[in-house]
Amino acid sequence: MTDNILEVRNLTKRFPIKGGIFGREVGAVKAVNDVSFSIKRGETLGLVGESGCGKTTLGRSLLRLIEPTAGEIIFNGQNIVDLNATHMREMRRKMQIIFQDPYASLNPRMTIGGILAEPMEIHNLFPGKEERRNRLYQLLDQVQLPKDTLNKYPHEFSGGQRQRICIARALAVEPEFIVCDEPVSALDVSVQAQVVNLLMDLQKDLGLTYLFIAHDLKVVEYISSRVAVMYLGNVIEVAESHELYGGARHPYTKALFSAIPKPNPNVHMDRILLEGDIPSPMNPPSGCHFHPRCWNATDKCREVYPEITNESETHQYKCHNPIRLN
């Protein structure tokens, strides 16, 4: 038995589109479409993709902040999709989330002490006054903020510091699994590196498991042990992070990596320029969703949606004409 903290099977989220005078359902956006993957205890799974591909919806569905339409989410051996609200709340103690925007995700009228204590109150942890205070100090210490932070308000902090506070809030209930939804995207480069290091240190010290969602491939590749690539609601390739760069089999993955500007003016790699835009998830193309932008597309790609191919135990992709590796 492998020690998977989380297993996702055929997870689907449809958002209905209502139209007409009677508000009938006229269609649906399949934001997440039949996605399956697993995360091992203590690892970081990176999730990348362009805007609108469904990565945030997927991340939030895992905590049932968005109710999935179909599929199973097995956390610590238990399917959490059918849990009632009380049990789900209990379960969320073990699953936390850090949001992208550290400016919008802290209540401006609460002190940092209040913000950090709230999750502990809800879950009735560290009840004694002394105990609670020590726990708050410990949290601040873990995210490297000074003790006088507790009595201040969010507006007194910079973006990087606020993101540290958000991390401390997620840690307050001693979770095992944290969904990091673009935690560094809103930060400046030099601060971004500090927060990435902090997340990696915390993982080592507390044995955390992360789902790390980002559109910045460099950061994802750096922090993750495995990476899943999404396109229009589907996970199209999963591989060890060092395999993915250079060893990608799906043309989209290859194009995505080649599109990143390299901070080295002496290296000029062959860039694959994708034609066109990402299609609307309301009306995805037939067959393989990527075929209108793919340079390898054949008639089969236009008609048949590709099944999962197992390249190795750690590397899966969905493509009829994968890139040949030499």
Partner 1 sequence: MAEKILEVKDLVVEFRTDRGTITAVNGVNFEVFKGQTLGIVGESGSGKSVTALSIMRLIPNPPGRVAGGEILYRGQNVLDIPLDEMRSIRGNKIAMIFQEPMTSLNPVFTVGNQIEEVLELHQKELSKQQRTEKAIEMLKLVGIPSPEKRVHEYPHQLSGGMRQRVMIAMSLACEPDILIADEPTTALDVTIQAQILELMKKLQTEMGMGIIMITHDLGVVAETCDDVAVMYCGQIVEQSDVKTLFGHPRHPYTKGLIESIPSFDSTTGGAKGRLPTIEGMVPSLFDLPSGCNFQNRCAHVTEKCRGPHGEPKLEPVSKGQMVRCFHPLS
- Residues at the site binding partner 1, with contacts judged by CB under 8 A: 50-51, 158, 160-161, 188-194, 196-197, 200-201, 215, 217-219, 221-222, 225, 240-243, 245-246, 255-266, 271, 273-274, 276-278
Residue 164 and residue 142: Cα distance in Å, rounded? 9
Q: How many residues does the chain have?
A: 326
| Alpha carbon distance, N-terminus to C-terminus of the chain | 34
Quote the least distance from Cβ 103 to partner 1, whole Å: 12
Nearer to partner 1, 36 or 203 (CB): 203
DSSP annotation of 11 reads E
Residue 221 and residue 33: Cα distance in Å, rounded? 24
DSSP annotation of 307 reads P
Closest by CA position to 226, among listed 213, 210, 239, 217: 239
Nearer to partner 1, 58 or 244 (CB): 244
Quote the least distance from Cβ 89 to partner 1, whole Å: 34
Quote the least distance from Cβ 255 to partner 1, whole Å: 6
Quote the least distance from Cβ 249 to partner 1, whole Å: 17
Residue 200 and residue 247: Cα distance in Å, rounded? 25
Nearer to partner 1, 15 or 222 (CB): 222
Nearer to partner 1, 135 or 164 (CB): 164
Residue 78 and residue 115: Cα distance in Å, rounded? 30
Nearer to partner 1, 29 or 120 (CB): 29
DSSP annotation of 260 reads S
Quote the least distance from Cβ 24 to partner 1, whole Å: 24
